[in-house]
Structures are given as C-alpha cells and as structure tokens.
C-alpha cells in the first residue's frame, strides 16, 4: 500500500491546505494540487465545460470517484454520489454541498445498488498509476467498469493549459 492509500496522508494534506488561509475556498485545492487560485479556477472551468459536453446533469447518474473536498462541478448534478477514502475530505464535501451524497469508502470497496451512467475521475488515474503501478490501476478500473457505464477521466494540467481540452480519456464500462 502506498501513501496515497492511507487516510493519514490525505488528512495531512487537507490540514496543510486549511492552515494556509482562513478562506478555505481559495486554498482547499492545495490538498490535491498545489497551484495558484487562478490556475485552479482554470482547471475547474475546463472540467465543468468538459462535463457539460458529455454528461446530462439533469438526468444522468454520476459517481465522482475520489471526490476529495467536493469540486464545484457537483453543484448542478441532480443524481450525484461522491466517494473518497478520506473521512476528512468527505466531511468537508458534505459541508460544502449539504444536498449531495458523499460516502467515505475506497473505490474498490464500493458496491452500489445501481449502475451509474457516468463515473468521473479527476486526476485520480494518473496518480494511482504513478504511485501504485499499472496493475493496481487495472484492478480498480475493472471494478469501476462494473458499476459505471462510462468513466470520464479528467486531469489537472492538461485542463488548465489547453483551451480545447476535451478529456484525457473515456473508459467504457461493461
């Protein structure tokens, strides 16, 4: 198990981000990606644009895998569930978006009663491959394909640097 699989790793990252400023909305993203607030806003805008091109936020069911603190794109989704292994992130997400469902669970342990129309991975796949290797990712991907019809893979850097960014990848489920 690598450090990204440990709850304490994410608790430390979140605590460090929250200690930077009393205005958590401007610094909370440091817990997942240390960039300026303006750069983060570019990423969020790009992700929201891409999501709106693929996902019908009024009708599609969405599973946000590794949802962290709850990103702004969740606000308009009607049928949304966010999952994360960090209870600290889940608490922040629930406070930011009290009308949404957030569950503290590892992605490979989540077995919903329904199959989601979409899964969203925001900078999760690349991190897992980098930290844990392809084999670990492949096992997680197989599980996600069983619970999501399609998975939208989004990354941070490309989203902020390419105005025409569409998505890193779309994975088809079973």
Q: Which domains are present in the chain? A: 3-172 (3.40.50.150)
CA angle 52, 65, 39 (to 5 degrees): 60
Indicate the pLDDT class of residue 86, thresholds 50, 70 and 90: very high
User: What pLDDT does 161 receive?
Assistant: 66
User: What pLDDT does 166 receive?
Assistant: 60
Which residues does 85 contact at the CB level (< 8 Å), separation at least 6? Answer: 5, 7, 10, 66, 104, 105, 106, 107
What's the pLDDT tens digit per position in 18-49?
A: 888 777 788 899 898 888 888 888 888 888 98
What's the pLDDT tens digit per position in 95-115?
A: 999 999 999 999 999 999 999
Query: Among residues of the chain, what percentage have pLDDT more than 70?
Result: 93
* Residue matched to tokens 């902020």: 160
Long-range contacts of 22-25 (CB under 8 A, 24+ apart): 24/92
CB neighbours of residue 139 within 10 Å: 13
* Residue matched to tokens 């997400």: 93
Q: Is pLDDT above 90 for 133?
A: yes
HEC-encoded secondary structure of the chain: CCHHHCHHHHHHHHHHHHHHCCCHHHHHHHHCCCCCHHHHHHHHHHHHHHHHHHCCCCCCEEEEECCCCCCHHHHHCCEEEEEECCHHHHHHHHHHCCCCEEEECCHHHCCCCCCEEEEEEECCHHHHHHHHCHHHHHHHHHHHHHHEEEEEEECHHHHHHCCCCCCCEEEECC
* Residue matched to tokens 């909305």: 25
């Amino acid at each position: 198990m690598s450090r990204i699989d440990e709850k304490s790793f994410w608790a430390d990252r979140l605590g460090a981000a929250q200690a930077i400023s009393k205005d958590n909305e401007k610094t909370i993203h440091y817990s997942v990606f240390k960039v300026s607030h303006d750069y983060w806003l570019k990423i969020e805008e790009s992700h929201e644009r891409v999501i709106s091109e693929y996902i019908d936020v009024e009708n599609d069911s969405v599973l946000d895998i590794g949802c962290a603190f709850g990103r702004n794109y969740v606000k308009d989704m009607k049928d949304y569930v966010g999952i994360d292994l960090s209870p600290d992130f889940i608490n922040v997400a629930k406070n930011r978006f009290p009308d949404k469902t957030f569950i503290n669970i590892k992605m490979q342990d989540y077995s919903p009663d329904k199959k989601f129309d979409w899964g969203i991975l925001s900078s999760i796949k690349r991190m897992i491959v980098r930290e844990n290797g392809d084999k670990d990712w492949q096992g997680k991907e197989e599980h996600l394909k069983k619970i999501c019809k399609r998975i939208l893979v989004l990354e941070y850097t490309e989203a902020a640097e390419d105005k025409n960014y569409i998505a890193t990848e779309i994975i088809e489920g079973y």
